[in-house]
Amino acid sequence: MTTDSLDLRFAAACAIGREAGVLARKRFLERPRSQLPDLKGPQDFLTATDAEVEELIRRRLGELFPKDSFFGEEGGGSFERDVWVVDPIDGTANFARGIPHFAISIAFVRDGRTEIGVVYNVMQDELYTSQRGRGVFMNGEAIKVSGLKNMQQATVEAGWSSRLPAEPYIAVVEKLKAAGANVRRGGSGTLGLAYVADGRTDAYCELHINSWDVLAGLLIIEEAGGWTNNFLAKDGLRKGNPVLACTPELAEILVKATGIDKEP
């Protein structure tokens, strides 16, 4: 195997995701209950654990693949031809408030295409692993999207952040409800996508989200037979984009309801 090997990188991402999860879980359980979390901005809590977990992932990948570039939500980095895009704790506000719904997201992008996606649902001990063209597994078992066709039976997660005003989000939620969907918001875009891949929900949408939140999850959905918009178009890697991912059967109706097209 050469240092270009995607197989080597895939194995490393799986192992590092689990190792980082052990650290995140430990810190979550140690969290002082009486202490309010640090506030980075409205509804955007920074915990020291984000930085610590990111540093662990950056160090391990750097030791194994020194020529690859790295971009993490907390520490930044650079986007070269081969780049790891990492969110150390997605669902930071949940983590900070003691809600066990957060995940580690590790994606590897080569020449603008995501080749590897690993998501670790830390407190449920669920590791989602995907390599382009090789399927997707949760703790080693193959998963697929629900295949649901009927909006009246669908559960759709609609994410929101303070990067955008509330009104367009509320309008999307209203349209989804009018179309018959059960709408939820769990506070982790990464896990929202993983749940579409394993059929727990039927769609995830958000009017703006960053690449570190979604790249691993989007590959996981594609490999699970789902439909996704072309998130990486128009420099989605650096700037983020709207995201829509769902069962193929619901794509047309959800494009209409959310206003999120295949091409951003």
Question: How far apart are alpha carbons 5 and 171 in whole angstroms?
Answer: 45
How far apart are CB 80 and ligand IPD at their closest, in Å?
23
How far apart are CB 152 and Ca ion at their closest, in Å?
31
Q: Could you say whether residue 195 binds ligand IPD (CB under 6 A)?
A: no
- Whose structure tokens read 């609609």? 158
x/- string (CB under 5 A) for Ca ion, residues 89-128? -x--------------------------------------
Considering only 198, 202, 206, 222, the residue that binds ligand IPD (CB under 6 A) is: 206
Q: Which stretch binds ligand IPD (CB under 6 A): 84-92, 114-122, 197-205, 246-254?
A: 84-92
Q: Could you say whether residue 213 binds Ca ion (CB under 5 A)?
A: yes
What residues from 171 to 190 belong to the interface with ligand IPD (CB under 6 A)?
A: 187-189
Considering only 121, 161, 228, 247, the residue that binds ligand IPD (CB under 6 A) is: 161
What residues from 59 to 88 belong to the interface with Ca ion (CB under 5 A)?
A: 87
Q: How many residues bind ligand IPD (CB under 6 A)?
A: 16
Q: Which residues of 75-97 are buried (b: 16+ CB within 10 A; e: fewer)?
A: eebebeebbbbbbbbbbbbbbbe
How far apart are CB 142 and Ca ion at their closest, in Å?
27
Residue with smaller CB distance to ligand IPD, 11 or 56: 56
Residues at the contact surface with ligand IPD, assessed by CB under 6 A: 44, 73, 87, 90-93, 159-161, 187-189, 206, 209, 213
